[in-house]
Amino acid sequence: MLNHNVNVISVSQLSFYLKNVLDNDVVLNNLLVKGEISNLKYHPSGHVYFSLKDQDSVVKCVMFSSYASKLTVTLKEGEKIIVNGSLSLYPASGSYQIYVKGLEKDGIGNLYLEFEKLKKELEQKGLFSPLHKKKLKEFPFTIGVISGKTGAGLRDILTIIKRRWPIAEIIVFPCLVQGNGASESIIRALDEASKFNLDLTILARGGGSQEDLWCFNDEKLAYAIYNYKTPIITGIGHEIDFTIADFVSDCRAPTPSGAAEMSTPDIEEVKTLIKNYNEIIKHSSKKLVMDKRNILLDYESYLTKEYFDKLLENKRETLKDRKEQLRISYLNFSKFYKGEIVDLNKTLKVEYSHYLANVRNILSSEIKILDNISPLKVLSRGYSLVSGVEGVINSVNKVNVDDVVKITMSDGKVYACITRKDDSNGK
């Protein structure tokens, strides 16, 4: 149960009470605080808004135009400064801030130095090279969005894409985009998105301080983006915010909304373009048909019987001329080669006669040789050829008594019966 003995006050009464306490504290009214500039903004009114931070804490600061106009230096994100001012509470938001009256530089901030060092290393290794940048698809139909599960940045992206390019399928891969473990969460979301057949991926986060966006300056995340196969657009923070992820990505948009704009065409413009192309095609087709029709009419006007008769007559004249040219060419050829043909004919006759005589001599010699070795020639000298059933008998062992043998002589044959046989020894 609540203690009703204590007076109940409103939020405004609490805020003004705390403001009064802070404003009347002697120490808090004359502070010297050093830290690193973050989330710097120059307002058109002349006021300067920024945060002052160290490794563990952040405090908001405001320097009104009456004091800011006296500055002799230009403030930069990441610089270390010492501010002089008073701490008070802003009742409307219930937050305390330092009202800065003066400041001086105190060197370059550690985060800024760390950012520049990593940026230089990755640039030297080629992670920012334009040669590695992938071209965005003109008409993406599947878009992946890697962002926080809740936040104005994601809502703006979804709203703009659905308005500009409603035919696209949007797949959201939620992750942490601030604080401890955010870089690892983004890397896991990239790994998950790589499993889908995406045309484009948007990596986005709404505005915030440099500390809020620091997870996008992680080296492992830089390599994850570099090795990501799908074209990727970053829309991180505001237009003045730059992170390592922006330098590695294929395209940087100034804001999440800008990323949605850059990643999609306007469907109304596409419809107009298609309509214009249809008109151009219709006009071109109509003109083409008319041109071809005119050509056909021109052909029809001169493709008459008289035209073909004339064409045929021209072909006949051409053929007649070709025939005459061929006849003249043949006569010239015959006249030119006639003498050579006659000489070749004479030479051929002489060589043929020599060849024929040589062949006759060879045949005569061969006939004589054959005649000399002919069995008939031998028989004419008184010899005879004895043969039996098994052929020529050239041994007494091939004939028996009472065998009938054939005796061939030069002028005929006789048959005889064997009555006796003697071998060479007279047996």
Co-location of 237 and 161 in the same domain: yes
Query: Cα–Cα distances in Å, from 225 out to 222, 230, 303, 346, 426?
Result: 5, 9, 70, 96, 127
Interval 281-330: pLDDT, tens? 999 988 998 888 888 887 777 677 787 788 888 888 898 888 888 888 87
CATH code of the domain containing 181: 3.40.50.2300
Write down the residue that tokens 């894409």 correspond to.
161
Co-location of 93 and 139 in the same domain: no
Co-location of 145 and 66 in the same domain: no
Q: Give yes or no for residue 417 having a pLDDT over 80.
A: yes
Q: HEC states along 49-111?
A: EEEEECCCCEEEEEECHHHHCCCCCCCCCCEEEEEEEEEEEECCCCEEEEEEEEEEEEEECHH
Q: What's the one-letter identity of residue 112? A: Y
Co-location of 103 and 137 in the same domain: no
Co-location of 139 and 233 in the same domain: yes
In a domain, residue 331? The reply is no
**What pLDDT score was predicted for residue 1?**
59
Co-location of 156 and 213 in the same domain: yes
Interval 379-410: pLDDT, tens? 677 778 888 877 888 788 888 888 888 888 87
CB proximity list for 99: less than 8 A, separation 6 or greater: 61, 62, 63, 64, 85, 86, 87, 88
When pLDDT is cut at 50, 70 and 90, the band that residue 259 belongs to is: very high
Which of 245, 265, 285 is a domain's end point?
A: 265
Which of 218, 241, 265 is a domain's end point?
A: 265
Per-residue pLDDT averaged across 24-40, rounded? 89
Co-location of 51 and 162 in the same domain: no
In a domain, residue 356? The reply is no
**pTM, entire model:** 0.51
Co-location of 86 and 171 in the same domain: no
Which of 108, 142, 168 is a domain's end point?
A: 108
Interval 60-101: pLDDT, tens? 999 999 999 988 778 988 888 989 999 999 888 888 999 999
In a domain, residue 275? The reply is no
Co-location of 156 and 237 in the same domain: yes
Co-location of 136 and 260 in the same domain: yes
Q: How many domains would you assign to the chain?
A: 3
Closest by CA position to 177, among listed 290, 256, 284 = 256
In a domain, residue 30? The reply is yes
In a domain, residue 286? The reply is no
In a domain, residue 309? The reply is no
Co-location of 74 and 150 in the same domain: no
Co-location of 78 and 135 in the same domain: no
In a domain, residue 323? The reply is no
Domain of 238, in residue numbers: 131-265
